Amino acid sequence: MEYGLHYKLPIYAGGLGVLAGDYIKAAHDLSLPMVALGILWKQDYTEQFIGEDGRPYDVYPDFNFDNVQDTGVTVQVQVRGENVTCKVHKVEQYGNIPLYLLDTNFPGSTHGWMTRRLYGGEEQDRVAAEIILGIGGMRALRALGINVDIYHMNEGHAVFAGFELIKEKMNQRALSFEDAWAETRKEIVFTTHTPVAAGNEIHKHDLLRFMDAYNGLTYEQVKEIGGDPFNMTAAGLSLSHVSNGVSKLHGLTASRMWKNVPKASNIISITNGVHNYTWQDSRIRQAFEQKGDIWAAHMENKKEFAQYIKDKTGSNVNPNALLVGFARRAAPYKRSDLIFRSTEVIEPLLREGKVQLVFSGKAHPKDGMGKDIIQQLVQMDRKYKDSVIFIENYNMEVAHYMIRGCDVWLNNPRRPLEASGTSGMKAAMNGVLNLSVIDGWVGEGLQHRVSGWLINPQHNEKLQEWEQDERDLQELYYVLLNEVIPTYYNDRDLWVEMMRASIDMSRWHFSSHRMIREYYELMYQVTKDIKDGKEEYRYSNVEHALQNPVEEHGQHRFNYYNNQFHHHHQYHRQHHYDH
């Protein structure tokens, strides 16, 4: 649904899109035989700025995509009883495999609303876009003459592609629905990205029928795939041969969440990764590989970021003082306000300029609670002047500066709601030290006082939300006051040693090159073997172990993960792909 390749191609909302962009860059680097499908959004997601009242407001400019190639190919889908023509565009100039983008915004089209705004409009707009992405995407592949072995549906947005594949087999090979479904499952893999209920899309069947999303299938058939009401994630699980969560912890969480879905595929774990050559600063890379002055390279980044902040906000950052960054989608579970919750602790640090906090992020245009969160951050910005900064209109450009120019990257979501989290990986590759709860990717790589700091590793799932918040707050303050601040100001050698450990920990293990190789080894090749009649699974011993975890909870389980993956990491560090 979204791809974040470059801020000059604004067709992404956040981390999900940037991950997809990193993925197709890694595929290009490794010369893998893949293409990608998406939508060319005329107005992007939102340009979000801060009003005089401190509240975010949204602007939707029409973008001219002069950097996108028109293939001359068109396909048609049916929406609300009308034939809808979709143009097919191509993007491959950002070091990525061919990305084909469908579009209904062209002169003479009355259907431009369908691909106008990413995640915008009403429910009908969303379903229309998903028909174009799924059904139109399959028809675009046929029209382009691209033969495909395996289809990878990234999130539930694409599940109507499965409807089209089933319909093709029923029409062209006279298969029954059940046989067509079974054959289709052998060529689809599926990734689910979020354990947050609101992120898993549900539609009423009346709407799907009205929008023509059934694509020739019956109510009973569609209900069997995705239930009633129709759950897009459940449909993805039942249309695929194998599925995955995006970190080891998320794979377990997702397996529990969806265990009651009939005919759901098994959910394994493939941890996300980020594209080193997009996100790691070349000076940091050089200093690390040549054992040069990594602190000097970091300070160059930090001063550049300070100037960027000055130009954008007018605020003055002290490059010699500790700078802590936090950039996320504005959602309550990410707890961007956690560090402010005890004024008597944090205020003296901010008033003295000992700690500087810089925030950025967007809220969904219709998310009033998300906008409340941003408004609270802006109030802190105005209260503490240069010690708290909010940068409006978060995008890939802002992210580039933040994940290179901060000293510490703060990550304190309410567990276990962060499926993976990739901003911390980008920061780690640049020697920016993570200060984080153990959620998502963090439990697989970060070691306390070695490559960053962990907050409250003894997680208790039985605590109420307010109890978990209070416990994490006290632990955050303890680590900040007793470990982070003293190390930064009094032990530069240890800090630099931790920076090197952070880069070493992340540059392969949390890279998109490692990630895509795991997709090939654990999902694509296995699925292709099943499709070709070879009933043999070849999961690695590590993956098998993680699908049969020890029963102990708490730190024992995380130690188990760490031991398994540090061993796996050491193996790959000796054999990793050299760009």
Q: Which domain holds residue 367?
A: 279-510
- Strand ranges in 110-209 using DSSP code E only, listed in sequence order: 151-154, 188-191, 202-203
pLDDT in tens, the chain (579 residues): 999 999 999 999 999 999 999 999 999 999 999 999 999 999 999 999 999 999 999 999 999 999 999 999 999 999 999 999 999 999 999 999 999 999 999 999 999 999 999 999 999 999 999 999 999 999 999 999 999 999 999 999 999 999 999 999 999 999 999 999 999 999 999 999 988 777 789 999 999 999 999 999 999 999 999 999 999 999 999 999 999 999 999 999 999 999 999 999 999 999 999 999 999 999 999 999 999 999 999 999 999 999 999 999 999 999 999 999 999 999 999 999 999 999 999 999 999 999 999 999 999 999 999 999 999 999 999 999 999 999 999 999 999 999 999 999 999 999 888 889 999 999 999 999 999 999 999 989 999 999 999 997 676 777 888 998 999 999 999 999 999 999 999 999 999 999 999 999 999 999 999 999 999 999 999 899 988 888 655 444 334 433 443 322 223 333 333 333 333 333 232 333 233
How far apart CA 450 and CA 544 sit, in angstroms, is: 28
Residue 416 confidence (pLDDT):
84
Residue 194 confidence (pLDDT):
86
Examine residue 323 and state whether it is found in any structural domain, yes or no.
yes
**Residues 496 and 523 both lie in one domain:** no
Q: State the first-to-last Cα distance of the chain, in angstroms, to the nearest integer.
A: 29
Domain boundary among 494, 510, 526: 510
**Residues 330 and 469 both lie in one domain:** yes
Give strand pairing partners of 90.
69, 100
**Residues 357 and 437 both lie in one domain:** yes
**Residues 384 and 488 both lie in one domain:** yes
Sign of CA dihedral 143, 144, 146, 148: negative
Examine residue 432 and state whether it is found in any structural domain, yes or no.
yes
Examine residue 116 and state whether it is found in any structural domain, yes or no.
no
- Strand ranges in 417-521 using DSSP code E only, listed in sequence order: 433-437, 452-455
**Residues 467 and 320 both lie in one domain:** yes
**Residues 471 and 531 both lie in one domain:** no
**Residues 430 and 376 both lie in one domain:** yes
**Residues 522 and 500 both lie in one domain:** no
**Residues 308 and 456 both lie in one domain:** yes
Domain boundary among 510, 525, 558: 510
Examine residue 1 and state whether it is found in any structural domain, yes or no.
no
The domain total for the chain is: 2
Please report which helix (H) or strand (E) contains residue 290, including its range.
Answer: none
**Residues 517 and 371 both lie in one domain:** no
Can you give 39-81 as a three-state secondary structure string?
A: ECCCCCCCEEEECCCCCEEEECCCCCCCCCEEEEEEEEEEECC
**Residues 300 and 394 both lie in one domain:** yes
Residue 568 confidence (pLDDT):
33
**Residues 332 and 451 both lie in one domain:** yes
Domain boundary among 480, 510, 540: 510
Examine residue 467 and state whether it is found in any structural domain, yes or no.
yes
Examine residue 146 and state whether it is found in any structural domain, yes or no.
no
Residues 6+ apart with CB under 8 A from 44: 10, 11, 12, 60, 63, 117, 118
Examine residue 174 and state whether it is found in any structural domain, yes or no.
no
Residue 239 confidence (pLDDT):
98
Give strand pairing partners of 89.
70, 101
CATH number at residue 361: 3.40.50.2000
Examine residue 117 and state whether it is found in any structural domain, yes or no.
no
